[in-house]
Amino acid sequence: MLRKGVTYTGFAELLKEVFVDVAEREFRLDDKPSSDSRISLLTGVHRKDVRRLRAQAGGHEASLPKVISFGAHLVSVWLNSSPFCEQPGRPLPLARLASNGGECSFDGLVAQVSKDIRARVVLDEWLRLGIVRIDEQDQVHLETMAFIPQRGFDEKAAYFRHNLHDHACAAVYNLTEGGEPFFERSVHYDSLSPAAVTQLREAVNADGMQVLIGFNQLAAELEERDIPPPDAKQRITIGLYFYTEPTPPTVDNPSTASSS
């Protein structure tokens, strides 16, 4: 946060918004809106601040911004749907213009997902973010197996919010609720060499991405085959992450490995 100029004061203001929003949505009595005084009592946020925050625009949604949801959908179609892929998970290079490639072009791909957005606008933005590249034959190549911008802080921040929110919600549910738990497991070791960590990182990048691509293909098939009523739609997030840092020096201990 400090690298991006977020001060403690700014962070504290964001926390007030979060506390007020959650109290308003999840701690109602008899499903009726709470008063400013009750929310102030629950959260410890001053009543004047509660009134001001509630008067502002509605709460933050957990879903991704529209532009990113569109991008994720577009990449999914390119990866999984004919004529844009050789087989699921193997996207084809696409002619940039429909005049050269017809339906099997970047123009055709964008048109299949939305008639309201110009392909050139999407292409320029994706070139900026490093999602695609154009070769000497004016063909567009997909440079990623998911909509994860290589550049563009705002886009990365949107994914940060989305993934952190859903991971934390799964963990909190498993900790506090009595129903069937969400899948949330990890593997951790603390006595690996840098070379071993590099090997594991590469394995996670390769094998982990294949696992996620498989889930993506299944979800795309189910979404097309099993269409729910408008009032019964649900969203999902399936994630996989990798992190490493030096192990703090301690007394000699045997290597540990566990999952939780």
Give dist(CA 162, CA 20) in Å, integer: 19
Same domain, 27 and 80: no
Instruction: Quote the pLDDT of residue 125.
Output: 87
Tens of pLDDT, residue by residue over 31-65, are 888 999 999 999 999 999 999 988 875 544 555 66
Tokens of 201: 């990182």
Enclosing domain of residue 163: 153-259
What is 94-158 written as a DSSP string? EESSHHHHTTSBHHHHHHHH-SSS-HHHHHHHHHHHTSEEE-TTSEEEE--SSS--SS-HHHHHH
Q: How many other C-beta atoms can be found within 10 angstroms of the C-beta atom of residue 30?
A: 4
207 is a domain residue: yes
Per the omega criterion (within 30 degrees of 0), is the bond before 83 cis? yes
* Greatest extent of the chain over all pairs of C-alpha atoms, in Å: 69
Give dist(CA 29, CA 12) in Å, integer: 27
Same domain, 158 and 249: yes
Q: Bridge partners of 105?
A: 95
Same domain, 71 and 39: no
Instruction: Quote the pLDDT of residue 161.
Output: 82
Structural domain count of the chain:
3
Same domain, 213 and 236: yes
Same domain, 138 and 157: no
Point out the residues of the chain with pLDDT beneath 50: 59-60, 253-256
Tens of pLDDT, residue by residue over 211-236, are 988 898 899 889 889 999 988 999 99
Same domain, 165 and 120: no
Tokens of 118: 């110009």
Same domain, 157 and 244: yes
Angle between helices 36-43 and 47-55 (to 10 degrees): 120
3 is a domain residue: no
Whether the model clears a pTM of 0.75, i.e. scores above it, the answer is no
61 is a domain residue: no
**Residue that terminates a domain, selected from 142, 169, 199:** 142
Same domain, 133 and 75: yes
Q: How many other C-beta atoms can be found within 10 angstroms of the C-beta atom of residue 175?
A: 9
Same domain, 163 and 254: yes
199 is a domain residue: yes
135 is a domain residue: yes
128 is a domain residue: yes
104 is a domain residue: yes
Instruction: Quote the pLDDT of residue 149.
Output: 64
